[in-house]
RNA sequence: GCGGAUAUGAUCUAGGGGUUAUGAUAGUGGCUUCCCAAGCCACUUGCUCGGGUUCAAAUCCCGGUAUCCGCACCA
């Protein structure tokens, strides 16, 4: 079988220090890859470009939270339950099934399997021995009295669990966004496809909190005429943000805006526009927390369309779960223009009567009564420890108070753009990989965008003449002092050195030749055109800076 | 997790029960002083791991691991 792009990229990636299989000397482990020297830089550049969009353009704030996450957090978020599938294998035809999909409803799993009520949908053999599959890595915190924990399957929960503090930090204004860039972990059943499906992966997530009554975005006006590449599972279309929201294709402005931001980021990172689209999730593929979700998909010649970004409307799901589980006040306040004076009826218990009547339960009854919402009261029942008690009328007064309300409390909704950095990185490599023939030989060029590429400038003395080397070394140092990543190379022939730089995606090569000694000038070679321009040495830094800025 | 295929220097690959394992690429040092992988010399790096069969295993057999393909999984 001839090598396809994937093979070629993985070969190049290993040879040139982008990506290595992890623990290879001990046989390796599926789903884990290391980033080598160039890969690490490339990844950092992609992450920092991403930060640019969210921290600067969208004015989000960044936080960092632990990758080890307490059981309670993921229980509340639904991951403990939703992330576990009860699975069963057929010993005859070797198929695996999710139990909930093949057993009759209203039957418990124990009953079904103990009484041979489950048959294999393929070969009708009785199925046995269901087992739970949880896709989170579990661990324990502490030695003796340990607490259960998991490696986080997403970075988002770290943001939700800090919502009340971050809301205050943002001076209680909505919308506001929080981002986190870091590792996530999923114990995949059978990871494959290189860095497309990892067990430990890098993600960049943003949680932008909105008033559910107002999912407009302040920047929407500016970009509303820009076009999005949408795919509705049938046909692809190019449609403006404004129109897509108007027709209901996209549920709200905020969602559309972050889709646009995503599209812009990916293009800037070097994604081929022809290999990009947004695909809407069908209702049966939505995650347990999502109301509407659009995936940014990138096309790979090997794998087809790959989900690289998910932009979900998670509504109030997470915050309300954490409010319920932790009893923390994570509400936001929608302020009225003028404070409202509300007439509120409240129950004022008469403890003098209640006390003797209910004795030790009186205290609890008091709290319940005081917090009760009051409309028209006829009889009041209170439930304490499964016992329902009727509270006689002479135990309380209903009093009307005037209450000043400055606004109403609500749970913010959240729009979540979530990016798989490793997948994006792979697709960028694939989309920018180019191969030409030079003198009958394969010649590889990685046409990475200048602001993404790990090395910006190759510094090459044409020949190893000590005068040229001296100038070259000085230029190299000055560039690095100016914060520009360089690669100094005086070995081998000049053509070979250009080839090396082309293969790792270095956009520019500065060559110091004999004229450099005479007139303080060098040539700057452009990777994609191979054209050379002669520049004064003192102008190099500015020239390169202009070229590599976004 | 199931089934199939594969596994030889950093990369690609030839071969194969018996002395020192083939070639190329890459890399290093030197010569060349050279603008797109030029040439010459020298050098560096290897049979996936464990067990078995055998006088002898990189080669045959079994198992593990990894990779690829198909099925299932991918909130």
Q: Nearest nucleotide to A27 by CA–C1' distance?
A: B65
Q: What is the CATH number of domain A40-81+150-317+414-423?
A: 3.30.930.10
Cβ < 7 Å from strand B, A residues 42-81: 79
Q: What pLDDT shows up at residue A105?
A: 65
A182 with A155: CB under 8 angstroms? yes
Q: Which nucleotide is nearest to A500 (CA to C1')?
A: B37
A426 is near strand B: CB distance < 7 Å: no
> In the structure, how far is the CA atom of residue A462 from the C1' atom of nucleotide B72, in angstroms?
58
Pairing of strands A413-420, A304-315: antiparallel
How distant is C1' of B70 from CA of A219, in Å? 48
The answer to whether strand B lies under 7 Å from the CB of residue A498 is yes
pTM value?
Answer: 0.88
What per-residue confidence (pLDDT) applies to A491? 83
Instruction: Please identify residues in chain A, positions 96-115, with a C-beta within 7 angstroms of any atom of strand B.
Output: 96-98
Report the nucleotide nearest the CA of residue A287, measured to C1'. Answer: B75
Determine the length of chain A: 550
CB of A212 closer than 8 Å to CB of A174: no
Closest nucleotide to the alpha carbon of A6, via C1': B68
Q: What is the pLDDT of residue A93?
A: 65
Q: Got the DSSP string for A325-375? A: HH-----EEEEEEEEEEEEEEEEEE-HHHHHHHHGGGHHHHHHHHHT---S
In Å, what is the separation between the CA of A438 and the C1' of B41? 27
Å: A496 CA to B10 C1': 18
Measure CA to C1' and name the residue nearest B39.
A493
CA atom of A95 to C1′ atom of B62, Å: 26
Using a 7 Å CB cutoff, list residues 27-46 of A near strand B. Answer: 27-31
A466: Cβ–Cβ under 8 A, 6 or more apart, which residues? Answer: none
Whether the CB-CB separation of A548 and A484 falls below 8 Å is answered with yes
Task: Give me the CA A42–C1' B11 separation in Å, rounded.
Answer: 21
CA→C1' distance for A358 and B7 (Å): 79
Q: Are A87 and A166 in contact (CB under 8 A)?
A: no
Kindly determine whether the C-beta of residue A286 is less than 7 Å away from any atom of nucleic acid strand B.
yes
Nucleotides on strand B lying under 7 Å from protein C-beta: 1-3, 10-12, 26-29, 32-39, 48-49, 64-75
In this complex, the answer to whether residue A476 has its CB under 7 A from any atom of chain B, a nucleic strand, is no
CA of A499 vs C1' of B37, distance in Å? 6
SS3 A549: coil
pLDDT at position A338, please? 81
pLDDT at A376: 64
pLDDT of amino acid A200: 95
Statement: the CB of A441 is under 7 Å from strand B: yes
- Is the Cβ atom of A183 within 7 Å of strand B at any atom? no
Place of tokens 């140092």: A477
φ/ψ of residue A520, rounded to 5: 60, 35
A392-398: Cβ within 8 A, 24+ apart: A392/A357, A394/A350, A394/A353, A395/A349, A395/A350, A395/A353, A395/A354, A395/A357, A396/A347, A396/A348, A396/A349, A396/A350, A396/A354, A396/A369, A397/A347, A397/A348, A397/A350, A398/A345, A398/A346, A398/A347, A398/A348, A398/A374
ipTM of the complex, rounded to two decimals = 0.88
**Nearest-CA neighbor of A323 among A126, A473, A163, A484?**
A163
| CB of A378 nearer than 7 A to strand B | no
pLDDT per residue, tens digit, chain A (550 aa), is 567 899 999 999 999 999 999 999 998 899 999 999 999 999 999 999 999 999 999 999 999 999 999 999 999 999 998 877 777 777 666 666 777 667 766 677 777 777 777 777 666 777 777 777 788 999 999 987 889 999 999 999 999 999 999 999 999 998 999 999 999 999 988 888 899 999 999 999 999 999 999 999 999 999 999 999 999 878 889 999 999 999 999 999 999 999 999 999 999 999 999 999 999 988 878 888 788 999 999 999 999 999 999 999 999 999 999 999 999 999 999 888 887 877 777 777 777 777 777 777 777 777 777 677 676 667 777 777 777 777 777 777 777 777 777 888 999 999 999 999 999 999 999 999 998 887 767 889 999 999 999 999 999 999 988 899 999 999 999 999 999 999 999 888 899 999 999 999 999 999 999 999 989 999 999 999 999 999 999 999 999 999 998 7
Strand B and A302 CB separated by under 7 Å: yes
Containing A478, the helix (H) or strand (E) segment is helix A466-481
The first and second tokens of residue A509, run together, are 């090569």
Q: In which element (H, E) is residue A261 found?
A: helix A253-269
Cα–Cα dist A36/A150, whole Å: 28
If you classify domain A448-549 with CATH, what class do you get? Answer: alpha beta
Indicate yes or no: strand B within 7 A of the C-beta of A304: no
Comma-separated ranges of CATH 3.40.50.800 domains in chain A: 448-549
**Protein A47 CA to nucleic acid B75 C1', in Å?**
25
Which nucleotide is the nearest neighbour of A496, by CA and C1'?
A: B37
Spatial distance from the CA of A228 to the C1' of B21 (Å): 58
- Whether the CB of A464 is less than 7 Å away from nucleic strand B comes out as yes
Residue with CA nearest B49 C1'? A27
Please tell me what DSSP assigns to residue A196. G
State the Cα–Cα distance between residues A3 and A371, nearest whole angstrom: 71
Mind giving me the DSSP string for A484-531?
A: --EEE--SS-HHHHHHHHHHTT--EEEEE-HHHHHHSEEEEEETTT--
What is the Cα–Cα distance from A310 to A214, expressed in whole angstroms? 22
Strand B proximal to A191 Cβ, under 7 A: yes
Helices (H), A198-246: 220-223, 241-246
Q: Is the CB of A469 under 7 A from strand B?
A: no
The per-residue pLDDT for A318 is: 94
Report the number of secondary-structure helices (H) and strands (E) in chain A. 19, 28
Which uninterrupted H or E stretch holds A228?
strand A227-231
CA distance A254 to A237: 20
Q: What pLDDT, on the 0 to 100 scale, is given for residue A479?
A: 96
pLDDT value, residue A278: 95
Backbone angles phi, psi at A143, to 5 degrees: -100, -65
DSSP class per residue in A93-132: T--EEEHHHHSPTT--HHHHHHTT--B-TTT-PBP---EE
């Amino acid at each position: 079988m001839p090598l396809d792009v994937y093979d070629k990229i993985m070969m190049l990636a290993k040879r040139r220090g982008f990506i290595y299989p992890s623990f290879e000397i001990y046989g390796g482990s599926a789903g884990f890859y290391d980033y080598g020297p160039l890969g690490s830089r490339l990844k950092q550049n992609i992450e920092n470009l991403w930060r640019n969009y969210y921290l600067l353009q969208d004015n989000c704030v960044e936080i960092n939270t632990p990758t080890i996450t307490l059981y309670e957090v993921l229980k509340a978020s639904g991951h403990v339950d939703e992330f576990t599938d009860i699975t069963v294998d057929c010993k005859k035809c070797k198929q695996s099934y999710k139990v909930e999909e093949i057993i009759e409803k209203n039957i418990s799993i124990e009953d079904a399997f103990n009484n041979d009520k489950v048959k294999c949908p393929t070969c009708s053999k009785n199925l046995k021995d269901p087992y739970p599959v949880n896709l989170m890595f579990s661990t324990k915190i502490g030695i003796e009295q340990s607490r259960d924990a998991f490696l986080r399957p997403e970075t988002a929960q770290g943001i939700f669990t800090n919502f009340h503090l971050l809301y205050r930090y943002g001076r209680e204004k909505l919308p506001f966004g929080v981002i986190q860039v870091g590792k996530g972990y999923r114990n995949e059943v059978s990871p494959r496809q290189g860095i497309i499906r990892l067990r430990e992966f890098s993600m960049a997530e943003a949680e932008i909190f909105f008033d559910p009554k107002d999912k407009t975005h302040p920047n929407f006006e500016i970009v509303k005429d820009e076009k999005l590449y949408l795919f509705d599972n049938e046909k692809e279309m190019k449609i403006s943000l404004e129109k897509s929201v108007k027709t209901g294709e996209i549920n709200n402005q905020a969602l559309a805006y972050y889709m646009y931001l995503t599209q812009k980021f990916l293009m800037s990172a070097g994604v081929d526009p022809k290999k990009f689209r947004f695909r809407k999730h069908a209702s049966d593929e939505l995650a347990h927390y999502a109301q509407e979700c659009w995936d940014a998909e990138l096309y790979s010649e090997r794998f087809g369309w790959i989900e690289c970004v998910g932009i979900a409307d998670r509504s109030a799901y997470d915050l309300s779960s954490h409010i319920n589980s932790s009893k923390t006040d994570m509400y936001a306040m929608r302020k009225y223009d003028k404070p409202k004076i509300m007439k509120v009826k409240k129950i004022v218990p008469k403890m003098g009567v209640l006390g003797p009547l209910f004795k030790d339960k009186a205290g609890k009854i008091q709290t319940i009564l005081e917090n009760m919402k009051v409309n028209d009261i006829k009889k009041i029942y209170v439930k304490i420890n499964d016992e329902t008690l009727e509270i006689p009328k002479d135990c309380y007064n209903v009093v009307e108070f005037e209450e000043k309300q400055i606004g109403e409390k609500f749970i913010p909704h959240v729009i979540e753009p979530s990016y798989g950095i490793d997948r994006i990185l792979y697709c960028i490599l694939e989309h920018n990989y180019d191969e030409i023939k030079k003198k009958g030989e394969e010649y590889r060029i990685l046409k990475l965008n200048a602001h993404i590429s790990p090395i910006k400038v190759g510094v090459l003395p044409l020949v190893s003449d000590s005068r040229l080397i001296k100038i070259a070394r000085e230029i190299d140092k000055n560039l690095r002092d100016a914060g520009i990543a360089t690669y100094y190379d005086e070995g081998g022939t000049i053509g070979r050195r250009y080839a090396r730089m082309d293969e790792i995606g270095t956009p520019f090569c500065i060559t110091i030749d004999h004229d450099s000694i005479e007139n303080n000038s060098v040539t700057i070679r452009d990777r994609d055109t191979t054209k050379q321009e002669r520049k004064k040495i003192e102008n190099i830094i500015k020239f390169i800076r202009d070229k590599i800025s976004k």
